[in-house]
Structure 1
């Protein structure tokens, strides 16, 4: 399979503002979501992070831009955990990487239910 020099990445990241005066980070997370909405990348926020997918460079740029925006909002420190998956054994249609992973597990569970 031909390989693009910029891998398609499915990432999960959790950006944690530190050193703020409030225990809630919702305002900072909302600022990051505003940034992500402008990227055109597919993303889905969840309780402890965000799934994000697109080209490796676009995903990393989006996370960088979230850091910049959250710092600008007043967070003096940020800690971010990132997990990134790539694959080159098959093509992944843009925007379907995470959904296809979830769908595959759901299909297996549905098969199990039918077998009972």
Structure 2
């Protein structure tokens, strides 16, 4: 099932600068090879629903691995039925 997902991951309980956490999630997104676009409030990513959700899970897990004690994640899923 093809989808476009808008998500944001907010590390909680860390220093004010979030750049190192964004960099870690970008490494995962780049490695995944799916189409994505950063925007002011999060990231849009396109692909098969299961694959996209697995990538988001990897991003969350990575933040915990590098010491983020709590993560708030917002996910908005739009499913597209491809007719061609």
TM-score relative to the length of structure 1: 0.68
Q: Secondary structure at the match of 1:86?
A: strand
- Which one scores higher on RCO, CA 8 angstroms, separation ≥ 6? 2
**Counterpart in 2 of 1:82?**
75
2:6 aligns with 12
Secondary structure in 1 matching 2:83 = coil
Structure 1 unaligned spans of 5+: 1-6, 92-116
Matched residue count? 84
What is the match of residue 27 of structure 1? Answer: 20
1:1-116 residue pairs with structure 2 within 5 A?
7-20=1-14, 22-88=15-81, 90-91=83-84
Distance 1:90 1:83 in 2: 22
Q: CA RMSD in A?
A: 1.2
Determine the C-alpha separation between the residues in 2 that align with 1:44 and 1:87. 18
Structure in which a larger fraction of residues adopt strand:
2
